[in-house]
Amino acid sequence: MKDRKMLEVWTLVNVLHLAAASMFFHEPSSVPIKPEINTTNTDFGFSLAYSSTFGGLLVGAPTEDDVGKLYSCNLEAAFSQKQVDCKDLFIEVDEPEYENNRCPDQRFHLGASIAATSDYIYTCAPLWTTNITSSSEEIRDVFGTCFVYKRDGPTRYQGTLERYLDKKDFIDGFCGDNDEWFLCLPALITGGTGWTTLADKTNGLLLTVKTSLQGDFLYTPLLDPLGETKSFAATQRNRVFLSSRWNIGYAVTAGKFFSDVTEYAFSMESKNMEGEIAFLKYNSKRKVLSLKIKDRKEVTLVNKAIGAMFGSALSAKDLDMDGLDELLVGAPALSEDECYECGALHIYLGGDQATINDRKRQRTILGTSNFGRFGSAIVANDVDGDNKPEIVVSAPYDNEGKGAIYILAGHEVYDVLMKVQDHKTILLSDLKLTQKIQKKEHTNLGFSLQFVDDIDSNGCKELVAGSPSTGTAVFFKCVQKITVTLSSSLIGEQIVKEQDEQFVVNVCARVQLPEYPLEITACKYRSFQHYRRSGSDHSRFNIYKIYYMYRLSRDMPICENVTVLLEDKEPGDYKFVSQAEIKNDYLMRPNNSEFNSSWVLGGPNSKLVTSIDVPRHCKGDDCIPNLSMELLWSGSKNYTVGSSANETVTINVRNDGNASYDSCVWVKVSGAALNRGDCEDYNGGYKCYLDRPMRRETKCTINLLLNMTTVTNIEKELQVEVKLYEICNQKLITTDSISVPYTLNSGDISLSGYAHRMNITDKQIRDSNIVYDDHEYVIQNSGFMTWKKVEMEIKMNKLEYLKSFTISTMDFGECARIEDVFYIVHRCVLDIMPNSTQIITGTAKINAGELKKYLVKQKLLTNSTSTLYLDNRLPPLNTLVNNEIPIVKEITLGSNKLLISLIALLVALILLAIITFILYKYGFFKRKQKKNLLIAKESVRRQSILQMEVDDDSPFDDPRPVTTNDNVGLVEDKPT
């Protein structure tokens, strides 16, 4: 298992390398930045700027002390002290015209935006409020103003409002045909100027943005910030364009988006809350700022996501190394796939302005933290020195408001997003080399971001992040990265001979050191290991490790010759592996606040692992392989199809010469299905590689498993052709083949027939009804073999009473009727599957009215024959189906009088029994009723006697009626 252990070591090295590659700033050694005088009511860190020659780090606190403040911070203290204290740059904002009693709680937000050059600081108070009067009206509103802070102090700039105030005494006189007529428009003056500023050295412009009401861009020469200020909205077309949007210029950036000319991108919001980006260009000859136009239409980017805050942060950087800047657009309130206000970073590739809205030019990175607002602030700079800028994006509300900063590795962004040729959207978590920075004590971290100069001269810029909710900013120290490239080569002959006892490998480390830091204290460790397969056992390794440690030196290659001693004379392939690791334990410790500017890590382009293959071979004629082949068949000489489920063709290849490294056999099989195993399809057959290498006096066996259940009666024989190649498909050594004839055995097939029993009645004969006589033919296959296209013939004599004779095969075959004079003949083509039972039904349609002369002893005799032709090599199978159909008399009620009499008698008996039962229930047969009957009977008898006595006299003697009182005897005796 030594090979597995070695794999684990390499995996650990890769993890360490990944962790080093994703570290750009040393988070444990970060330093807080605060105002020199501690205050609790401040949003220090709201805005950031930097000037290396004037003021250092500049931090805005726009809500502090109502007016707002601007601070200057010396960042050199971050490398010697635990905290950087910042000084207040006092700027007097109040004006005589301002009446505090009218707006007592108004905050001016001084420091809401900051721009810095080498000569001055430019900051604005966009909510600065004053009261102005003219000949016609008094205006009390928010106007905003800006200040130029030089070494001798602050001075108000000459913006639109200031120019209006300078001319207010004679304003009525110049509001007509005058170059400055636009100053008479109150909407151009009021509404908060200075929420956004930009100092552009390329075009020499200082931009000041008025974001609300009538939006405007005020531009001033960068070298003369107190000079003439022009208004972009002075042109009617520009004013109409801006008036149809909101939040004009909330973010502005400069870049070479379409050509080598620097232009400006600014954000805005349509009336339906869709985000937009438009572009400005500056004509240096005419000194005019205008909209970027294409085909008489403004060039804009439109994002359909409602309320996503698209464009609230903008930046520009060349990410794909084509000379044009990509536009980086933040959309921190974007919600997608149930991730609410997770935010996004949109990247628009630089190129032709006509296709800027083409989705192929858009890349998107989606935030993954609910309400984190990823994309609130964006800056980009090459931190690790690989010429691919890192992108720093903040999510100031990540983790329930703690905030987070994400440093996206430039080379990973390039590989994952810039190389692709189409639109691509990924999750932030898909980027594996991203450094995430969070500080528990600094909430809303990353509300503002600013790269600053390389303060400690270690070759990379530092980063500052604002945390206005805690009134601080945080300084992060960058870690320089170097590129280490390992290479190795075999010294001397490039093939080690079997007689050699050792070989030597030269390993060199090429270290590309940046200009800074001047001193590098990290150490580089190297380990060398080689292994080879021992004999024919491919799972055993001999591993040797040697460790070296070097102190890195500038412009000095590190090379070492490593000697490997060989223990035997066996040929084989050796692999020599060398790996390097830049050790700097202090940097990798998570809670170590110590930082040394001389510490370095391996850069993303470093190659810290290298390997070479070292072959070991023989000499002279002994270096020629000597291959032979033997072909074996596991079955009988004449194979009976279906006698077994599988058979094997064995290929035995033996090498009695030197090892072969690329030998194979080519196999072609017909007549049976081959389970190819490790063989691959090639040129109408299969290519099977032999052992690599196949060493001297070894044998390689290839077993080809044949599935014999797929062989049918169609195949006549098995053919196997094998070719042996010393060099696969190039140097043929020998050819061999096997031919095995197939024999058939019908013992597993049986054919039987059955007739369905039935009767025909004399009524059916009298009525000439149609009756059906079914014959079934059963084919049983109890073997492995499939019989294909087997013919079966079924016939029945043609007779007068036979209207038709049809065949049903249940979809496992097809039948067709064959014309014949004496018989109705059907010929079927069947496939008989292994271990199956198939039933064919023949149905004779008989006219019963035509049967009389065909009856034998009141029976109809029918028969059919079936013949199964399995193969022309086998005798056919036959079966005869006979059916005796008796003729029976049908018994009906109308033709049987005896039956009617019996039924009537039965009904009478049933009725008598019912009446008797009813009489019994009502006591008719009890003694009391019997006694009354006897009395009645005696009375009748007496009357009869009296009548007889009367009759003895003449009936004409007394014509009066005779009466009697004998009725008294009918009265029932009362019990005593």
Rounded Cα distance between 481 and 484, Å, is 10
Quick one: pLDDT band at residue 578, thresholds 50, 70, 90? confident
Q: Best-predicted range by mean pLDDT among 496-505, 628-637, 954-963?
A: 628-637
Res 40: pLDDT: 84
Closest-CA residue to 494 (of 486, 506, 482, 510): 506
| SS3 label, residue 954 | coil
Burial of 168 (0-12, 13-18, 19+ CB in 10 A): middle
Better pLDDT: 482 or 896: 482
**What's the Cα-to-Cα distance from 840 to each of 89, 128, 634, 780, 845, rounded to whole Å?**
107, 103, 39, 11, 16
Report residue 230's pLDDT band, with 50, 70 and 90 as the boundaries. very high
Q: How far apart are CA 653 and CA 725, in angstroms?
A: 11
Helix, strand, coil abundance in the chain, percent, nearest 5: 15, 45, 40
Q: Classify domain 481-607 at the CATH class level.
A: mainly beta
pTM of this prediction exceeds 0.95:
no
Burial class (CB in 10 A: 0-12, 13-18, 19+), 941: exposed
For residue 253, what are the β-bridge partners?
A: 265
pLDDT beyond 50 at 178: no
CATH fit for domain 746-890, picks 3.30.70.260, 1.50.10.150, 2.60.40.1530, 1.20.1730.10? 2.60.40.1530
Is the separation of the CB atoms in 379 and 402 below 8 Å?
no
User: Residue with structure tokens 């296959």?
Assistant: 781
For residues 113 and 209, give the distance between their C-alpha atoms in angstroms, rounded to a whole number.
Answer: 10
Confidence class for position 59, pLDDT limits 50, 70, 90: very high
Q: 3-class SS at 225?
A: coil
Name, in order, each residue with C-beta under 8 angstroms of 354's C-beta and a sequence gap of 6 or more: 294
Top-confidence residue, 477 or 959? 477
Convert 481-537 into a string of H (helix), E (strand) and C (coil): EEEEEEEEEECCCCCEECCCCEEEEEEEEEEECCCCCCCCCCEEEEEEEEEEEECCE
Quickly list H helices, 835-926.
897-921
Query: What is the C-alpha separation between 541 and 35, in angstroms, rounded?
Result: 65
CATH 2.60.40.1510 fits 622-734, yes or no: yes
Q: Give yes or no for residue 97 having a pLDDT over 70.
A: no
pLDDT band at 537 (very low <50, low <70, confident <90, very high): very low
**What span, in angstroms and rounded, lies between the C-alpha atoms of 315 and 329?**
7
Per-residue confidence (pLDDT) for residue 970, from 0 to 100: 36
Query: What secondary structure letter does DSSP report for 233?
Result: G
pLDDT at site 878: 93
Neighbours of 876 (CB within 10 A): 16
pLDDT in tens, 349-386: 999 999 999 999 999 999 999 999 999 999 999 998 88
Question: What's the CATH code, domain 50-244?
Answer: 2.130.10.130
Q: Is 945 helix (H, G, I), strand (E, B) or coil?
A: helix
Give the residue-averaged pLDDT of 451-480: 94
pLDDT (average), residues 539-546 = 41
Q: What is the pLDDT of residue 975?
A: 42
With a CB cutoff of 8 Å and minimum separation 6, the contacts of 113 are 47, 60, 123, 124, 126, 194, 195, 196, 197
pLDDT (tens digit, 9 = 90+) per residue, 828-844? Answer: 999 999 999 999 999 99
What is the average pLDDT across 537-544? 38
Six token digits for residue 333? 């309130």
For residues 141 and 192, is the Cβ–Cβ distance under 8 A? no
Q: Is the pLDDT of residue 405 over 50?
A: yes
The pLDDT score that the predictor gives to residue 378 is 98
Helix (H, G, I), strand (E, B) or coil at 380: strand
User: For residue 887, which of 862, 846, 851 has the smallest C-alpha distance?
Assistant: 851
Are 35 and 61 in contact by the 8 Å Cβ rule? The answer is yes
Q: What 3-state class would DSSP assign to 585? A: helix
Question: Can you tell me the distance from the alpha carbon of 877 to that of 750, in angstroms, rounded to the nearest whole number?
Answer: 8
pLDDT of residue 542: 42
Q: What is the mean pLDDT of the chain?
A: 83
Query: By three-state DSSP, how is residue 574 classified?
Result: strand
Q: Are 679 and 653 in contact (CB under 8 A)?
A: no
Task: Dig out the tokens for 613 from the structure.
Answer: 């293959």
Give which of 283, 180, 286, 299 is closest to 233, Cα–Cα: 180
> Quick check: 387 pLDDT over 70?
yes
pLDDT interval class at 594 (50, 70, 90): confident
pLDDT at 408 exceeding the cut of 70: yes
pLDDT at 777 over 50: yes
Residue 507 CA to residue 528 CA, distance in Å, equals 9
Residue whose tokens read 């005869």: 880
Q: Which residues contact 807 (CB under 8 A, 6 or more apart)?
A: 794, 815, 826, 828, 840, 841, 842, 843
Q: What confidence category does residue 953 fall into, taking pLDDT thresholds of 50, 70 and 90?
A: very low
- In this structure, the dihedral spanned by the alpha carbons of residues 191, 195, 201 and 206, taken in order and rounded to 10 degrees, is 20
Q: What's the whole-number mean pLDDT along residues 741-758?
A: 90
Between the CA of residue 531 and those of 2, 565, 566, what are the distances in Å? 10, 11, 11
Q: Which token pair is 685? A: 């057959």
pLDDT the model gives residue 514: 75
CA distance 790 to 565: 72
Quote the tokens at residue 803. Answer: 């209207």
69 has pLDDT over 50 = yes
Identical fold between 50-244 and 622-734: no
What confidence score (pLDDT) does residue 552 get?
Answer: 53
Helices (H) and strands (E) in the chain, counts: 11, 64
Write the DSSP string, 410-456. HHHHIIIIIS-SS-EEEEGGG-TT-EEE--TTSTTBTSSEEEE--TT
First vs last Cα of the chain: how many Å apart? 126
**What does residue 587 show for φ and ψ, rounded to 5 degrees?**
-65, -35
Which is higher by pLDDT, 967 or 773?
773
Q: How many CB atoms lie within 10 A of CB 401?
A: 13
Give the tens place of pLDDT for each residue, 656-676: 887 788 899 999 999 999 887
Q: What percent of the chain has pLDDT over 90?
A: 48
- d(CA 763, CA 750) in angstroms, rounded, equals 40
Write out pLDDT tens, residues 842-884: 999 988 888 878 888 888 888 999 999 999 889 999 999 998 8
> Is pLDDT above 90 for 593?
no
Q: Do 342 and 335 touch, CB atoms closer than 8 A? A: yes
pLDDT of residue 972: 40
Please list the residues that pair with 485 across neighbouring strands: 510, 607
CA distance 445 to 465: 6
Across 11-15, 174-178, 575-579, 644-648, which has the greatest mean pLDDT? 644-648
Share of the chain above pLDDT 70, in %: 83
Residue 931 pLDDT > 70: no
Domain ranges of the chain: 50-244, 481-607, 622-734, 746-890, 892-922, 927-970
Give pLDDT tens digits for 286-344: 999 999 999 889 999 999 999 999 999 999 999 999 999 999 999 999 998 889 999 99
Tokens of 381: 């700079």
- Distance between CA 413 and CA 435 in Å, rounded? 13
Q: Note the pLDDT tens digit of each residue in 799-839.
A: 888 888 999 887 777 899 998 888 999 999 999 999 999 99
